[in-house]
Structure 1
Amino acid sequence: MNPEDIEKQAQEDIGKVSNLQELQQVKSKYLGKKGLITLALKEIVSLSPEERREQGAKLNRIKEFVEELLKRAEDRLRREKVEKELSLQWQELTVSLPKYAGAIHPITQTLQRIQDIFVGMGFSVEEGPEVELESYNFDFLNIPKEHPARDMQDTFYVNKEGYLLRTHTSPVQIRVMLSQKPPIYMIAPGRVYRRDDDPTHSPVFHQVEGLVVDESANFKHMKHTIEEFLREFFEADVPVRFRASYFPFTEPSAEVDIGCLVCGGKGCRVCKGSGWLEVMGCGMVHPQVLENCGIDSELYQGFAFGMGVERLCMLYFGIDNIKLFYENDLRFLRQFRWS
């Protein structure tokens, strides 16, 4: 079914619903894991880059339109339900409307925005277990046995049989490379766990990691992908720079900075006078990692990148303490609505 037919059919289906149960069924039909719009977004991976951009933008517009129709229908049905219940009561009732409307948590908003941008670029969204095997979390990723990241001070180990709480979403990349043949264009969002606890770090936080494996994948391709994502995410032509770094699973590796959003690059307390803010790490997938997953490193190349969702959310909204996200203070949470 083409996008226009999906949009037309969704309008008709939503217009016919008469109760909240039917509305939920329609929502699942179009936005569920196997919904028409969800499947259509996944299918654009097979298109050419130019077609993916065009089709992705069209489907995202339709998705937003359907979500708005569903919200209006839900508001109408809930209002009608309340009015019907009140009409059956013999006594007069005064219904107090809530002073504040609810809002999606800022971290969830940020995750959804990141995913929408990459799906529009033709990436698939992949998931994996949070309780992970040490081999997927470290060994396949070329992280040596003596690496500090394996220490008990950094990693939450579940038992002595090699199970742990994943320290990054990179194991999802490994599982995809072991189960799928290139070309691969994917992102892996999810919760990760590390022994951190200070104003800018939490023992539980969210990451989105990306992976591309293709015959033509190169550093220039990676650089362009990251720059386009950051400018789309921050809705501005932000300066972007790449600094040489080191990660066991990529070579060469780089840290990615953007021009400070507070001072415009002039130097301030937030950027510690440098004019730059670090936002993610990236690099070309180490040939050994490809070989570990049964991919011919002579034929294929890959690049990977990873970002902290809380970090991006804090930069976008101007939040200076990560713990505010987890305290469930309504005074804090109701401030944030994505523009």
Structure 2
Amino acid sequence: MIDKIKAHIAEVEAFSAKSKEEVETFRIKYLGKKGLLNEFFAEFKNVSKEEKKEYGQVVNTLKSLAQEKVNTLKSALVSTEERSGVYGDLSRPGEPIKLGSRHPVSIVKNKIVDIFSRIGFNVSEGPEIEDDWHNFTALNLPEYHPARDMQDTFFIQTDPDILLRTHTSSVQVRYMENNKPPIRTISPGRVYRNEAISARSHCFFHQVEGLYVDKGVSFADLKQTLQYFTTEMFGKSRIRLRPSYFPFTEPSAEVDVYWGLETETDYKMTKGTGWLEIMGCGMVDPNVLSNCGIDPEIYSGFAFGMGIDRVALLLHQIPDIRMLSENDIRFLEQFKSSL
């Protein structure tokens, strides 16, 4: 009888199963109410005294091995099922990963930030709801100044001193108030103006403005900085500066880049001249420096600003500025491969 039990021990050790049904059949065979172990325990009373000790040991060994085998096989089968549920058939082709897309305004803004960061400009941000001082007065635009009419403004009805900022120059004022020269910063952000909405203009849009203040800063420094930017941004190295007027810079200029006349689109964009206006710039007015606590006798600086939306329309050949804010998924999905 002992040899018979040892044979079952060897059988239990060698047993394997590929399904829960096989494990359950094995369990019933050895550990069930009518299983072999109950028969062996019942036979214990008929064993001679000399063999009882050895008989009891081999029966207990068989019981322990059978119970351990059942537990091990069940755990293994559960783990296999979980992996199968998560990964499925590993031989099947993988599902394509859906890529998100960046907004064209974000693409252009990130590229501008990257270009200026290479020459030491950091990024500064400020509130979109501004006060009159930072948006107008500190920028050489006192109350009732006629140049304020250049920017139709959204004022807060309950407080005429609070408004939605019309440009990110207000961020530059805050930065100069809280930092000492040398200052080299760009300020991207959303701005608001009370304008009619059309294919070329909107009541809100995005700007990025740059500021450099230090000892001995000249107009030549401004021109070289803009030359570097247009070459990196557009691949166009030919620019021109036309005299213009901005209340917070003196002298002031409009910056044109020579786009060329190679296609019909070039003719339309440049009105047949080949030149395309991209931004305004100038030397920071001494009054602005004084308003921000910087001595204009010691320091000078230049500033520039451009519309991010306009550059996005230009680079991506987008015909209508309203497409940038309509959240049409068909339009946005075109920029999936853009960084």
Aligned to 1:103: 101
Is the aligned partner of 1:87 residue 2:84?
yes
Distance 2:263 2:106 in 1: 27
Say if 1:220 and 1:334 are closer, same or farther in 2 by CA, change over 3 A: same
Say if 1:98 and 1:299 are closer, same or farther in 2 by CA, change over 3 A: same
Deviation at 1:200, TM superposition (A): 1.0
Secondary structure in 1 matching 2:186:
strand
Matched letter for residue 263 of structure 1? E
Secondary structure in 2 matching 1:311:
helix
Aligned to 1:220: 220
* 1:265–1:276 Cα contact (<8 Å) kept: no
Could you tell me which runs of 5 or more consecutive residues in structure 1 were left unpaired when the two chains were aligned: 1-83
Aligned to 1:233: 233
Deviation at 1:318, TM superposition (A): 1.4
Aligned to 1:115: 113
Deviation at 1:106, TM superposition (A): 1.0
Aligned to 2:140: 142
Distance 1:240 1:265 in 2: 21
State TM-score, norm by structure 1.
0.69
Query: CA offsets, 1:13-42, max 9 Å, x none?
Result: xxxxxxxxxxxxxxxxxxxxxxxxxxxxxx
Deviation at 1:331, TM superposition (A): 2.1
Q: Figure out how many residues of one structure are paired with residues of the other and give that number.
A: 255
Say if 1:141 and 1:121 are closer, same or farther in 2 by CA, change over 3 A: same
* 2:281–2:305 Cα contact (<8 Å) kept: yes
Aligned to 1:278: 277
Secondary structure in 1 matching 2:229:
helix
Please give the residue correspondences for 1:13-92 in structure 2 after superposition, counting only pairs within 5 Å: 87-88=84-85
* 1:264–1:275 Cα contact (<8 Å) kept: no
State TM-score, norm by structure 2.
0.69
Say if 1:264 and 1:139 are closer, same or farther in 2 by CA, change over 3 A: farther
Secondary structure in 2 matching 1:270:
helix
Aligned to 1:60: none
Deviation at 1:328, TM superposition (A): 1.6
Secondary structure in 1 matching 2:269:
coil
Deviation at 1:87, TM superposition (A): 3.2
Distance 1:279 1:177 in 2: 25
Deviation at 1:148, TM superposition (A): 5.2
Say if 1:300 and 1:148 are closer, same or farther in 2 by CA, change over 3 A: same
Aligned to 2:294: 295
Is the aligned partner of 1:202 residue 2:202?
yes
Distance 1:311 1:293 in 2: 30
Say if 1:264 and 1:304 are closer, same or farther in 2 by CA, change over 3 A: farther
Say if 1:99 and 1:201 are closer, same or farther in 2 by CA, change over 3 A: farther
Aligned to 1:263: 262
Say if 1:202 and 1:149 are closer, same or farther in 2 by CA, change over 3 A: farther
Aligned to 2:324: 325
Is the aligned partner of 1:168 residue 2:201?
no
Aligned to 2:334: 335
Percentage of matched positions with identical amino acids: 50
Higher Cα radius of gyration: 2
Distance 1:148 1:109 in 2: 36
Distance 2:237 2:277 in 1: 13
